[in-house]
Chain A
């Protein structure tokens, strides 16, 4: 398939088969529909929507205006991703404030619409909306579900209903931050380098680069995951959520 000299390659050597990517996104969409039926947008109160909107707006400001410029003073290597780290950090704070399934996907959807309005002019849509919401957003939502709405230990009580020690709550935040950090390191190398980039630009798939990028993303993302979880915990307390 080709348009204007740009081929949509589905047979680049080493590329993830399109069938697997399609199955992933169909399963992702099925989970979205399950969320929508079970919880729906109605489960979000007005304040939740405002938190999500503020977080998305902050992410746009960071990723396109501030972080991208600060990032230019730093070396360009897969170990450092100032723009992405900022977005991840803000996303974790929003998740700590809302703590409802669907927060991750809705936040990334709003972020994508805002970044289109302010920056991309709807370039690349709807592909990136689907891709980011169903990878980063979905991963975050799965952690929220796994924590039973007590993300980063916020509101966590022991079985007899009494409050648990601060150390336990901190431990939970760090653990969940690490899990989110590792999960957030996966989509870009695997889906972007392994599928979307060769699909759009016929780029060569190099699994050594994919593995290197995946491993290189993990340390930074894990650190930001932990920092975001701890900041989320504190901001939720400061805001009174």
Chain B
């Protein structure tokens, strides 16, 4: 490996634009979903194992703690999906400019808030 490869800027010394926050949050939500997958696979297991475990899962998911967990995972999924679609759109050469990136970042945040509230309304 060449020692002359470019090194990333020291992000700690830079005031971050909205595009950077959207990028960091995309990563953070991805790490969160990696952990949350354990809960999702466990829930899929319980839902298919037997009629009794399905009923027990249904009962559990009516509890307040489970609802908060579900809402948090929904928020993570919503945000990560929208920010991921933003990447896909940019891969097609759309909104690659700075104003375009700022606008799509705002759209992602706005849509996340709306959809997360809707998800909360659906869960409760």
The judgment on whether A and B are partners is no
Interface residues of B (CB under 8 A from A): none
Interface residues of A (CB under 8 A from B): none
